[in-house]
Amino acid sequence: MEKEKKAVLAGQHFMSGNDACAEGAIAAGCRFFAGYPITPASELAERMARRLPQVGGVYIQMEDEIASIAAVLGASYAGVKSMTATSGPGFSLMMENIGLASMTETPCVIVDIMRGGPSTGQPTKPGQQDVMQAKWGSHGDYEIIALAPSSVQEMFDFTIEAFNLSETYRVPTFVLGDAIIAHMLERVTILSADGIQIVNRKKPTNPPSEYAPFKPDDDLVPPMACFGEGYRFYATGLTHDERGYPQTDSALFQQKLVQRLCDKIRKNAEEIVKVEEILLEDAEVVVVAYGIVFRSALSAVRIARSQGIKAGLLRLVTLWPFPDKQVSNVAQKVKRLLVPEMNYGQLVREVERVAKRTPVVFLPKLGEEPHKPMEIVEALRRV
Amino acid sequence: MEKSLQLEHPYDEFLRKDRIPHIWCEGCGNGIILNCFVKALQELNIDLNKVVVISGIGCIGRLSGYTNTDSYHTTHGRPIAFATGVKLANPELKVVVISGDGDLFAIGGNHFIHAARRNVDIQVICANNFVYGMTGGQVGPTTPLEALTTTTPYGNIEQPFNLVHLSTAAGAVYVARWTTLHVRRLTESIKKALQKEGFSFVEVVSPCPEIYGRYNKMGTALEMMNWFKEASEVRHFSDPAKAEISSEKIVVGEFVDIEKPSYGRLLQEMIAKFQEDKEKKT
């Protein structure tokens, strides 16, 4: 009981996004963190190093990000909710085992505090340059879930949500923050433990002799036994059957497994995807924005409205699976879509894909700060 | 007659029978290593529900699929990092990594030295066959100088790692080397490693007659085992720095057996201290 109190710091706080993310993870039940120092995500690891031992959890600083994500997978299979946090270069190193996490359906949360790239880029500056890497970074076909917080409060809330989704679907889940949200301080309200909804992976109900570790239920998600529970199962990154045994020759197994790994997310997209619709009813031009840019876009749309422009805002909370239906619905009703992003053209491709005939205007921003509201207002005026 | 065919093998309990026969070539040493490992588990009477066998990629990477324990087949080079997460998340588990020289010391070399440095409480068994077998016989981190492989067609010009020296320097609390000829002593070393707190390492020099042996005209598996017999020299606690493997000499035996608190123990002590402090306050 005392332990629970410490895990959830109920009350009002003034804290950074990195700290809020760490607290969200602990509130969600995360008790294992493996990471490697990297700007602008280091404070998250530091908070975890301080906090996890207080709640009986494990913090370990690994030798690199490859090892960090591998240890996270191991801890998850040992039955403990686990996470890591990084930024672009480290995120790239993690891609190999993010594929393994997809293949072995390992619940885990990966926080990527996005900075400017490619390569070392601008370590202390924000960016939204990893949104495609999050979806496509590992090889092969797979689906993941990615959430994009826009505030410090959301760094807390979305991290809990990320754990819940990851546990529900047995899929690596990303929180895509950025250097601004990670470092800025805002008020955070943390509810008591009773007010926080926590989801845990479903466990097998059949005896070990009948357990097939990759045999899905109707929701396409298999119940998960963990090491040491007496199930004595085998998991591999090789294509496998429902028993977990390698099946590397027959196309049948490749099709069956890969389709299910993708479909468990695609077919449940309705449950997973969240967007916010703002001033859309009579809107003629709609801004599609996410993350830190959403805040500028919100101001911009209000200013534009005050100037008589029929502007609206579709805020993407879930980036992956991409909100196809929601974006498409809006696109069909409006004259134009405007996509401001802190990159040189990434998620705008997805918007274009689903917008079909509705023209999509892209507004890139690279470097130090997100778009100023007036930059978006001007773009709205032009389109 | 039919009845006698249904007799159980003494190791049936330890193996996934429906996964046998294994994929390894005739004359490969991996079967001997699996056998010795299983015998060690049996003799120590370890609860199989609490054993996790983790392997990487390569011929011996398939071993984790054959043991009737919880087991996981990671990406190439990552079994030790994965095992670190498993052991720290659930200290009750006996976590064993069994993999090859390429997996553990080339692509996974960094994970090996850091797990040894931290003294994570895991047991690592390395099948050292001097070559990348599964990919068809390329040069590896333990391939001897001048040896022929598919990627050193004019002879190897890379210096090989001396694994017992490397693991000793990195901080392992138990280090031993045997060949697949030394089945009894290998089994004893695996047993010792399994009972040791901290990072223990057992190197098993293992024949790959099908690829490495054939390329280097070393003859059949039997002839390779004969080489082990003639070249092996049992010298316990000799200087690991001087234990380089050559065609004339393979120094085998125990090299290190020391006590040092494991990372997991120090971690649990730190966490426990927190709980005590809290109890004092309340």
- Asked, for residue A81, whether it belongs to a domain, the answer is yes
Residue B250, min C-alpha distance to chain A (Å): 32
Q: Which residues of A touch B278 (CB under 8 A)?
A: 2, 6
Say whether both A30 and A152 belong to one domain: yes
Interface residue A95 vs chain B (CB under 8 A): no
Average pLDDT (B54-74) is 97
Task: Mark residue B221 as left, alpha or beta (left: phi above 0; alpha: psi -120 to 50; beta: remaining).
Answer: alpha
Q: What's the pLDDT score for residue A331?
A: 98
Mean pLDDT of B152-159: 98
Residue A100 in any domain: the answer is yes
Mean pLDDT for all residues in chain B: 95
Pairwise CA distance, residues B212 & B113, whole Å: 26
B16 and B70 in contact (C-beta within 8 Å)? no
A373 is a domain residue? yes
Q: A26 and A123 share a domain?
A: yes
How confident is the model over B108-130, as pLDDT tens digits?
999 999 999 999 999 999 999 99
Does residue A357 sit within a domain? yes
Nearest to A77 among B49, B50, B72 (CB): B72
Instruction: Report domain B8-281's class.
Output: alpha beta
pLDDT, tens digit, 9 for 90 and up, residues A102-122? 999 999 999 999 999 999 999
**Distance of alpha carbon A303 from alpha carbon A305, whole angstroms:** 5
As a whole number of angstroms, the distance between CA B22 and CA A245 comes to: 13
CATH of residue A332: 3.40.50.920
Cβ-defined contact of B82 to A73 (cutoff 8 Å) = yes
Q: Is residue A181 part of a domain?
A: yes
Average pLDDT, chain A: 97
* CB pair distance less than 8 Å for A78 and B71: no
Residue ending a domain, among A177, A195, A213, is A195
Say if B89 is an interface residue toward chain A (CB within 8 Å): yes
Average confidence (pLDDT) over A76-89: 98
Residue A97 half-sphere exposure toward CB, CA atoms < 13 A = 31
Mean pLDDT of B133-157: 98
Does B270 contact A at CB distance below 8 Å? Answer: yes
Q: Is B242 helix (H, G, I), strand (E, B) or coil?
A: helix
Residue of A nearest to B264 (CA): A58
Q: Residues of B with CB below 8 A from A67's CB?
A: 78, 81, 84, 110-111, 114
User: Hey, are the CB atoms on A70 and B82 less than 8 Å from each other?
Assistant: yes
Q: Does A60 touch chain B (CB under 8 A)?
A: yes
d(CA A175, CA A188): 17
First vs last Cα of chain B: how many Å apart? 72
Question: Cβ separation of A232 and B111 shorter than 8 Å?
Answer: no
Q: What residue in A sits closest to B84 (Cα-Cα)?
A: A71
Query: What is residue B3's predicted lDDT score, i.e. its pLDDT?
Result: 55
Three-class SS string for B179-198?
ECCCHHHHHHHHHHHHHCCC
Whether residue A229 lies within 8 A of chain B, CB to CB, comes out as yes
A291 in the same domain as A177: no
Residue A191 sits in the same domain as residue A285: no
Residues of B in contact with A109 (CB under 8 A): none
Residue in chain B lying closest to A213 (CA): B70
Q: How many domains does chain A have?
A: 2
Task: State yes or no: pLDDT of A1 exceeds 50.
Answer: no
The answer to whether A110 faces chain B, any CB pair under 8 Å, is no
Q: Does A299 touch chain B (CB under 8 A)?
A: no
Q: In the predicted model, is pLDDT for residue B278 greater than 80?
A: no
Identity of the amino acid at B51: V
Last residue of a domain, one of A172, A195, A218: A195
Q: Tell whether A320 is within 8 A of chain B (Cβ).
A: no
Q: Are A212 and A205 in contact (CB under 8 A)?
A: no
Out of B73, B86, B114, the one facing A238 most closely (by C-beta) is: B73
CATH number for the domain including A107?
3.40.50.970
Q: Are A150 and A108 in contact (CB under 8 A)?
A: no
Instruction: Point out the domain boundary residue: A146, A180, A195.
Output: A195
* Cβ within 8 Å, pair B85-A54: no
Instruction: Give the lowest-confidence range in A86-100, B5-19, B35-49.
Output: B5-19
Q: Both A71 and A184 in a single domain?
A: yes
Nearest-CA residue of chain A relative to B277? A54
Residue A355 domain-assigned (yes or no): yes
pLDDT digits (tens, 9 = 90+) for B8-26: 888 999 999 999 999 999 9
Q: Domain map of chain B by residue range? A: 8-281
Q: From CA A327, how far away is CA A311, in angstroms rounded?
A: 15
Closest Cα in chain A to B52: A227
Residue B107 CA to residue B120 CA, distance in Å, equals: 19
Whether residues A41 and A183 share a domain: the answer is yes
What is the reported pLDDT for B263?
98
- Which residue type is seen at B33? I
A240 in a structural domain: no
B22 touches chain A (CB under 8 A): no
What's the confidence (pLDDT) of residue A6? 85
B85 to A100: CB separation less than 8 angstroms, yes or no: no
Amino acid A78: pLDDT: 98
What tokens were used for B57? Answer: 């990629």
Tokens in use for B280? 């004092």
pLDDT tens digits along A277-310: 999 999 999 999 999 999 999 999 999 999 999 9
A279 CA to centre of own chain: 26
Cα(A117)–Cα(B170) distance, integer angstroms: 35
Q: Is residue B4 over pLDDT 90? A: no
| A383 and chain B in contact, CB less than 8 A | no
Set of chain B residues whose Cβ sits within 8 Å of the Cβ of A76: 85, 89
Q: Print the domain residue range for A286.
A: 276-382
Q: B45 CB near a chain A CB, below 8 Å?
A: no
> Binning pLDDT at 50, 70 and 90, where does residue B277 land?
confident
A157 and A301 in a single domain? The answer is: no
- Whether the CB of B276 is below 8 Å from some CB of chain A: the reply is no
Cβ-defined contact of A234 to B275 (cutoff 8 Å): no
Is the per-residue pLDDT at A39 higher than 90?
A: yes
Chosen for mutation from B90, B99, B121 (greatest number of chain A CBs closer than 10 Å) is B90
* Chain B residues closer than 8 Å to A60 by CB: 84, 88, 263
The amino acid sitting at A195 is G
pLDDT band at B276 (very low <50, low <70, confident <90, very high): confident
Residue range A25-33: mean pLDDT, rounded:
98
CB–CB contact A67 B110 (8 Å)? yes
Which of A278-282, B52-56, B270-274 bottoms out in mean pLDDT, i.e. has the lowest? Answer: B270-274
DSSP, residue by residue, B165-233: HHHHHHT-SEEEEEETT-HHHHHHHHHHHHHSSS-EEEEEE---IIIIIHHTT--SHHHHHHHHHHHEE
Residue B150 sits at the vertex; the CA angle it makes with B147 and B156, to the nearest 5 degrees, is 30
Residue B68 has pLDDT above 50, yes or no: yes
ipTM of the complex: 0.97
Query: Which chain A residues are closer than 8 Å to B63 by Cβ?
Result: none
Band (pLDDT 50/70/90 cuts) for residue B6 is: low
DSSP B120-178: -S-EEEEEE-SSBTTTTSB--TTPPTT--BTTBTT---SPPP-HHHHHHHHT-SEEEEE
Q: Does residue A248 belong to the interface with chain B, where contact is any CB pair within 8 Å?
A: no
Q: Report if residue A202 sits inside a domain.
A: no
Q: Chain A residues with CB inside 8 Å of B92's CB?
A: 228
